[in-house]
Amino acid sequence: MSLISPAARDALEHWLAAQRGLHNAADNTITAYQADVAGFLSFMTLHHGDSQGLGPLARITVSDMRAWMASERDTGIAPRSLARRLSAVKSFYRWLAEREGFDPTAVLSTRAPKFQRKLPRPLAQDAARAMLEVAPQQSETPWVAARDTAVLTLLYGCGMRISEALGLDAGTAFDQSVRLIGKGGKERVVPVLPVARAAVDAYRDLCPFDLVPGTALFRALKGGALYPGQIQKIMRQARMQLGLPSSATPHALRHSFATHLLEAGGDLRAIQDLLGHASLSTTQAYTAVDTAHLMDVYDRAHPKAGGRR
């Protein structure tokens, strides 16, 4: 951040601290925010040919924003990534404008580039079941196979993120439900199916390490916490055996949980709560149910739909 003035650098650090403290942003998010906004501030310094203190930053114009966007596009950045950078810059400017008392319209009115949202690709129900059967077979060690079964069952049976499953404490009680800490530190409670409880219990019984409260529930071979990459590797091996596409990842099991619930007539808002989504539109993108099936669910469930067929 050598091109950035001390005042702008201090403002950026204070904003990042606010994101950590007030919004409980994850470390990876903070790192991305810092890089995105620092890159923007550095560009403005070079664009204007002088150090951008808080005064010049408050006077950034629509033309300046267009120049930055054009410069970013020239690097070959994907529209989705540019939209993310612009979002970070806008968030910083909202905070800075409120603090310094200037009009941030030139920045906030800048339109993000259009991009086609990548819809998730869930596994078919038979493929999801096959994955839960074949993935644990990648290890001949009984406790490791039981561990992998438990992790994948939590992803597909409870809709957990891989980070949530692997972040579970060894003291977690798997009763009728379990409390999770999701993105942004948000808590939610999800039901635990008997098959998921049984899978976790089987793993606990076989695990050779002391699963005491305050330590990780799921362990690697040497006893340390299990990392996502290890589960990803197991699924990669299993999908090759099953002839499944590269989209068959741990996260795809979470997508499959949502999609298969909706296919069975589940309520979209209830699924939103189970997944921990802040926006219903996010849940809608998560579920890959075709229109014909949605109409079938409508026919069966809506009180005024009788006799449509």
Report, as residue numbers or ranges, the catalytic residues: 161, 183, 251, 254, 277, 286
Contact between 172 and 251 under an 8 Å Cβ cutoff? The reply is: no
Gap between the Cα atoms of 2 and 8, Å rounded: 11
Give me the DSSP letters along 72-88: HHHTT--HHHHHHHHHH
Which residue carries 């802040």 as its tokens?
278
| Percent helix / strand / coil, the chain, rounded to 5 | 60, 5, 35
Measured CA to CA, the distance from residue 90 to residue 108 in angstroms comes to: 6
Q: Residue 253 carries which side chain, given as an amino acid letter?
A: L
- Distance between CA atoms of residues 233 and 288, nearest Å: 25
Q: Which long-range contacts (CB under 8 A, 24 or more apart) does 113-119 make?
A: 113/69, 113/73, 113/79, 113/82, 113/83, 114/79, 115/78, 115/79, 115/80, 115/83, 117/285, 119/285, 119/288
CB atoms within 10 A of CB 143: 18
- For residue 195, the Cα-to-chain-centroid distance in whole angstroms is 25
